[in-house]
């Protein structure tokens, strides 16, 4: 090693030690300091992994909600003291967003988000923090099926009509350093086509689905899979015999084995499947699988159950039950659960304003202990993600970056 290299080694090590301990927002700004810093922060996969590992160990990863509406995409800090604070919200530049259309978010993993402009076209993996994105090839079913249903279509072609996505999700297999996207399309003949995209192979492949179509309960549940233990999870209505005998289970797709299996739900009081209740599957802080049950004619009672030990039925534990005001006739869905609060999306099929509502669990009167953020009217989507510098294995050289990432990703405040 030359004397010049030895002379600069301590300084480089000190700089790296400092940078690995800084939050993502600061790192993105500091990438403007020099080409060397920009290369380390935005292009060095080992630095990104080291930063992620250290932040994970110190439990300092910044948790945010990605908000998608027809007019814009925003990032909301869930740890902020108030959603009203301008600094809690950032307006994002999404290079592939089409004007007047909202971006559907299929899943998030390690700071990356998988999105789709339509369920048969326009699939992307995107890191909102760095601006890196990759356009994926379209799933195979997109070229095999007919997207719209024509009443004059011959009976022989109707089986090719794609009604819509049944399940989708995004996750990571650590053993092979492979990010995978799962999409299960439902055709009009009730057959399921499951496709899995591999970032390693940069291609989709068809796998066999062992699930039966649940046309009754599917409309009331999330199509987005909950990622826990490198497995995607959805609520599923299994029909082993006649339709009236269906039972609710958690459908689990192991991303490593690429196989489906069933996980039983917690044992609720009653059967848990009445007309006045519905269930969501999700993941709480810490990565544990959870089930949120909404009860009552207006879904005013909310229970949250957590599986403390993965795939052990006896470990299901009820964390809390709370009652919310439903006089506004808004439907609520849980999107984030922290140590002392939860964040829910309030929406309605009517032309009313959608909003996020943070409820502090220690408050006895939920109505007096809320923090709200308006999403406006119309279609919207929300997903939780972590701020990281991580990116896909760059084996195909197809990565792109949003223009002016350092400026557009972190504006000073939200628009008034």
> What is the reported pLDDT for 405?
44
Kindly tell me if the per-residue pLDDT of 213 is higher than 60: no
User: What global pTM score does this model have?
Assistant: 0.85
∠ CA 375-381-385, nearest 5°, is: 105
What's the mean per-residue pLDDT of the chain? Answer: 79
- Between the alpha carbon of residue 403 and those of residues 43, 90, 117, 378, the distances in Å are 16, 17, 20, 28
Kindly tell me if the per-residue pLDDT of 216 is higher than 90: no
> What is the reported pLDDT for 309?
96
∠ CA 169-79-32, nearest 5°, is: 85
Residue with more model confidence, 27 or 394: 27
Pair 322, 329: CB distance under 8 Å = no
State pLDDT tens for residues 185-210: 776 656 677 899 999 999 999 987 77
> What is the reported pLDDT for 415?
40
> What is the reported pLDDT for 114?
96
Q: What is the mean pLDDT of residues 392-415?
A: 50
> What is the reported pLDDT for 198?
96
Query: Per the structure block, which two tokens stand in for 56?
Result: 């994970």
State pLDDT tens for residues 31-59: 999 999 999 999 999 999 999 999 999 99
∠ CA 131-133-138, nearest 5°, is: 155
User: Please, which residues have CB within 8 angstroms of residue 1's CB and are 6 or more apart in sequence?
Assistant: 9
> What is the reported pLDDT for 201?
93
- Provide the Cα torsion 62, 346, 324, 313; round to 10°: -60
> What is the reported pLDDT for 91?
92
> What is the reported pLDDT for 51?
97
> What is the reported pLDDT for 366?
53
């Amino acid at each position: 090693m030359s004397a010049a290299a030895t002379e600069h080694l301590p300084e480089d090590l000190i700089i790296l030690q400092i940078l690995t301990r800084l939050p993502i927002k600061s790192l993105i700004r500091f990438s403007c300091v020099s080409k060397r810093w920009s290369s380390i922060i935005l292009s060095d996969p080992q630095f990104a992994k080291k930063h992620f590992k250290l932040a994970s160990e110190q439990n300092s990863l910044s948790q945010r909600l990605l908000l998608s509406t027809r007019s814009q995409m925003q990032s909301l800090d869930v740890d902020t003291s108030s959603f009203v604070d301008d600094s809690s919200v950032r307006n994002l530049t999404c290079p592939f967003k089409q004007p007047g259309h909202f971006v559907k978010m299929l899943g998030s993993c390690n700071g990356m988000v998988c999105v789709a402009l339509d369920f048969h076209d326009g699939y992307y993996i995107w890191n909102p923090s760095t601006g890196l994105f990759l356009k994926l090839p379209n799933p195979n079913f997109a070229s095999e099926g007919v997207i719209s249903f024509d009443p004059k279509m011959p009976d022989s072609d109707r089986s090719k009509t794609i009604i819509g996505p049944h399940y989708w999700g995004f996750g990571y297999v650590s053993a092979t350093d492979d990010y995978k996207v799962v999409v299960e399309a439902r055709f009009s003949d009730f057959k399921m086509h499951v496709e899995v995209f591999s970032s390693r192979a940069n291609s989709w492949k068809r796998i066999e689905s062992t699930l039966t179509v649940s046309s009754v309960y599917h409309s009331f549940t999330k199509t987005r899979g909950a990622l826990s233990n490198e497995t995607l999870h959805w609520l599923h209505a299994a029909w082993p015999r006649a339709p009236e005998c269906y039972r609710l289970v958690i459908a689990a797709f192991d991303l490593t084995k690429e196989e489906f299996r069933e996980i039983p739900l917690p044992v609720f009081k009653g059967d848990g499947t009445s007309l006045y209740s519905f269930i969501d599957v999700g993941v709480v802080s810490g990565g544990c699988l959870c089930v949120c049950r909404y009860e009552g004619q207006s879904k005013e009672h909310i229970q949250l159950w957590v599986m403390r030990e993965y795939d052990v039925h006896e470990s299901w534990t009820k964390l809390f039950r709370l009652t919310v005001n439903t006089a506004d006739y808004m439907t609520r869905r849980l999107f984030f659960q922290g140590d002392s609060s939860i964040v829910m999306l309030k929406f309605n099929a009517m032309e009313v304003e959608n909003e996020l509502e943070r409820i502090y669990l220690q408050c006895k009167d939920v109505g007096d202990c809320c923090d709200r953020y308006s999403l406006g009217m119309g279609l919207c989507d929300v997903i939780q993600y972590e701020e990281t510098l991580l990116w896909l294995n760059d084996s195909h050289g197809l990565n792109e970056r949003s223009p002016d990432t350092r400026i557009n990703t972190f504006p000073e405040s939200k628009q008034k």
